[in-house]
């Protein structure tokens, strides 16, 4: 895909009532008040949304997994060809951040709406709920699917599970718009993301007889060194996809824990690493080569001393890459509705790749900016709420008969 390609800017469609963004801000206040940080249940917020939908005659299906929930609702006729409006409702923790007020009490200051999740990404959901009466009043030829998920900030488990559920209540959506903060500019591609926890186990002993031990720390360090060599290789000779920063696949080890005192050989070491791959590279391939290297070059030395020595690898989270063709009608539709003729590339992952992998072309376009997310005093501009409501209004017009 050529990131430099642009299309002519398309005219904006009709404007919306000023009352609708005010309604969205009121709903955002309610949504922010739910503490849906990663370690907590999102079920109370999902129940609130279910009740909001039910009050306007929209049935929804809630799918529980332990204390976490997804929600799927169809607004309009249950026919093929609809658009999914997708949002995750979990948010990142607030501990250790310098907030100036209660993170779960929305504050309005100088055109900013401040609160945890206000930008990432409860603002998009608030706009959808605010526009629900307009959806219901329109004579829709094709439906909107409201898709809410859990655990996007950690494991992507909600999106992964939702893909198996979308066709249960009627034809699945034909297209998807994921409302992650993009400044209401279309994003057509993002890197894939995958991360793992790795544990090496060996045999402890006094360091004066290191020959009788199996040093798990040094084995793990060799494994991290291999990852560093891979990272250098991708930077120097890897596939280039211009538009991404950096334009190649990255490999990164982020944590490492092992040992207690210097003269005891550690029998356990653990670390985490991640891959952010450009379209065309796959995290699965990198993982397979990592495991093969450990089995052939690192573990045999440990097992000569201690046959039970092992390496375990546990997946933490996986987000497939997104790569929407610049000629796809979804891009033109999103550009027309947003008033932006851009087609952006980003290096962070979203749930859009899950829709694409399930055969549903997807794009990212939502209110707010990613630099405002995950921060203390997270905020979204009121003007972005207004722009998102107008964007949804134009989508409604496009889906009407």
Residue 155, in any domain of the structure? yes
Task: Enter the pTM of the model.
Answer: 0.88
Do 59 and 143 meet the contact criterion of CB atoms below 8 Å apart?
Answer: no
* Active-site pick, 29, 90, 120, 274: 90
Residue 3, in any domain of the structure? no
Count of structural domains within the chain: 2
Where does a domain end: 318, 337, 368?
318
Do 190 and 365 meet the contact criterion of CB atoms below 8 Å apart?
Answer: no
Tokens of 247: 């334009």
Task: Give the per-residue pLDDT at 30.
Answer: 98
Residue 9, in any domain of the structure? no
| 201 lies in the same domain as 231 | yes
Whether 139 is catalytic is no
| 49 lies in the same domain as 79 | yes
Residue 37, in any domain of the structure? yes
Task: Give the per-residue pLDDT at 7.
Answer: 38
| 39 lies in the same domain as 185 | yes
Instruction: List strands edge to edge, sheet with 310-319.
Output: 250-258, 268-277, 192-201, 310-319
Task: Give the per-residue pLDDT at 6.
Answer: 37
Residue 162, in any domain of the structure? yes
Residues of the chain with pLDDT under 50: 1-14
| 134 lies in the same domain as 66 | yes
Q: How far apart are the first and last CA of the chain?
A: 33
| 35 lies in the same domain as 128 | yes
| 174 lies in the same domain as 34 | yes
Task: Give the per-residue pLDDT at 16.
Answer: 74
Q: Give Cα separations from 139 to 77, 163, 265, 400 (angstroms).
A: 9, 28, 71, 5
Residue 334, in any domain of the structure? yes
Residue 10, in any domain of the structure? no
CATH code: domain of residue 52: 3.40.630.10
- Give the Cα separation of 58 and 401 in Å (integer): 20
| 85 lies in the same domain as 206 | no
Whether 90 is catalytic is yes
| 37 lies in the same domain as 143 | yes
DSSP E strand stretches across 123-242: 144-149, 175-178, 187-190, 192-201, 205-206
Q: How many CB atoms lie within 10 A of CB 334?
A: 27
Task: Give the per-residue pLDDT at 15.
Answer: 61
CATH code: domain of residue 210: 3.30.70.360
* Active-site pick, 152, 160, 230, 386: 152
Residue 23, in any domain of the structure? yes
**Strand 187-190 to 344-346 pairing:** parallel
Print the domain residue range for 231: 192-318
| 165 lies in the same domain as 203 | no
| 290 lies in the same domain as 373 | no
Task: Give the per-residue pLDDT at 95.
Answer: 95
Where does a domain end: 318, 334, 358?
318
| Nearest in space to 186 (alpha carbons), one of 22, 358, 361 | 361
| 183 lies in the same domain as 309 | no
Name the DSSP class of 245.
S
| 101 lies in the same domain as 42 | yes
Where does a domain end: 287, 318, 349?
318
């Amino acid at each position: 895909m050529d990131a430099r390609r642009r299309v002519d800017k398309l005219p904006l469609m009709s404007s919306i009532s000023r009352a609708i963004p005010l309604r969205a801000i009121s709903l955002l206040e309610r949504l922010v008040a739910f503490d849906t940080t990663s370690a907590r249940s999102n079920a109370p917020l999902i129940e609130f949304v279910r009740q909001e939908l039910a009050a306007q005659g929209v049935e929804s299906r809630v799918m529980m997994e332990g204390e976490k929930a997804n929600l799927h609702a169809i607004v309009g006729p249950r026919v093929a060809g609809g658009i999914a409006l997708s949002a995750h409702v979990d948010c990142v923790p607030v501990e250790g951040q310098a907030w100036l007020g209660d993170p779960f009490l929305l504050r309005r200051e100088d055109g900013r709406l401040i609160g945890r999740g206000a930008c990432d990404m409860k603002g998009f959901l608030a706009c959808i709920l605010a526009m629900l009466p307009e959806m219901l009043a329109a004579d829709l030829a094709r439906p909107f699917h409201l898709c809410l998920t859990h655990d996007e900030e950690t494991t992507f488990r909600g999106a992964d599970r939702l893909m198996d559920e979308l066709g249960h209540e009627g034809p699945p959506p034909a297209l998807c718009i994921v409302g992650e903060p993009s400044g209401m500019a279309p994003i057509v591609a993002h890197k894939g993301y995958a991360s793992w926890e790795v544990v090496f186990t060996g045999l402890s002993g006094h360091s004066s007889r290191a020959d009788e031990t199996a040093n798990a720390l040094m084995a793990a360090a060799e494994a991290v060194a291999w990852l560093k060599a891979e990272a250098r290789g991708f930077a120097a000779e890897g596939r280039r996809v211009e538009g991404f920063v950096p334009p190649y696949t990255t490999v990164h080890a982020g944590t490492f824990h092992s040992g207690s005192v210097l003269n005891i050989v550690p029998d356990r070491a653990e670390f985490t690493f991640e891959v952010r791959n450009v379209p065309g590279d796959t995290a699965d391939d990198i993982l397979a080569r990592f495991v093969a290297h450990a089995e052939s070059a690192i573990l045999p030395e440990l097992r000569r001393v201690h046959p039970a020595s092992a390496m375990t690898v546990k997946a933490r989270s996986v987000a497939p890459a997104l790569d929407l063709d610049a000629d796809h009608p979804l891009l033109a539709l999103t550009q027309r509705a947003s008033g932006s003729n851009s087609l952006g590339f980003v290096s962070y992952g979203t749930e859009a790749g899950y829709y694409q992998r399930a055969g549903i072309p997807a794009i990212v376009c939502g209110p707010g900016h990613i630099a405002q997310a995950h921060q203390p005093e997270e905020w979204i501009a009121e003007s972005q709420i207004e722009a998102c409501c107008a964007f949804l209004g134009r989508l409604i017009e496009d889906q009407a008969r």
